[in-house]
Structure 1
Amino acid sequence: MAKKSPLQRVREEHGSKEELAEKVLGLLEKPEDEWEAEDFDHRIRTLSNRKLLRLWESHQKVQEQYGSKSDLVEKIVKARFPGGNDDYETKISGFTLPKLLDLARRFKV
């Protein structure tokens, strides 16, 4: 069986790109440097199917394996700095979920 394209996966798993974009928008917080909420919404709605799927899957994986983004950040900090490091925790708290998952994989969390 051939591997499905991102478009096929979006249609099969979520119905349409618009529905997936709505789900992803519900998960994301508007960045502080983003001036208008409409610009942020437009930017997310026009992402490629592959990127939308990656964001959705990252969120699902974090929910299943770690509970929340803050729990994941805490585990990464403890793995890298057993005594804790508030500056590092503050820094990585602003990272996206896919980037945090990459860090978790790197530090074997």
Structure 2
Amino acid sequence: MAKKSPLQQVRDEFGSKAELAEKVVSFLDAPEGEDAADFKHRIETMSNAKLLRLYRSNERINKEYGSKAELVEKITKARFAGGNADYQAKLSGFTMPKLLDIAKRFKV
């Protein structure tokens, strides 16, 4: 059987793109200086594939690491044995998919 398209996956798992966008908005933080309504609109107009990637990244981080902050801490400890506050602050601003890529690189 052929792989389902992102649209089909969204409809099967969440019912509609709007419902998936609501779930993604709930765990993402709006960037500083961006209005909450503008941020929500930007998320709602993302592609289905991007929304699925963000949602699945969040689920994986919560399941395997507990939270984004815990993942950032583990990556920092893997890279710097004594820790590094500046590096940790920089990692905190990264997207969840990017953090998962970094964790894979450092085998965290």
Deviations 1:15-35 (A, max 9, x none): 10000000001011111142x
The corresponding residue for 2:64 is 65
Q: Distance in 1 between matches of 2:16 and 2:97?
A: 22
In the alignment, structure 1 segments of 5+ residues that lack a partner are: none
Tell me the TM-score normalized by structure 2: 0.98
RMSD of aligned residue pairs (Cα, Å): 0.7
Counting only pairs closer than 5 Å after superposition, residues 1-109 of structure 1 correspond to structure 2 as 1-34=1-34, 36-109=35-108
Query: Residue 37 of structure 1: CA displacement?
Result: 1.2
TM-score (ref. length: structure 1): 0.97
Once residues 61 and 87 of structure 2 are traced to their aligned partners in structure 1, the CA distance between those partners, rounded to angstroms, is 20
Number of matched pairs: 108
**The residue matched to 1:108 in structure 2 has which SS?**
coil
Q: Which structure 2 segments of 5+ residues have no match?
A: none
Amino acid at match of 1:94: G
Using the aligned pairs only, state the percent identity.
Answer: 67
SS at match of 2:3: coil
Moved over 4 A (4+): none
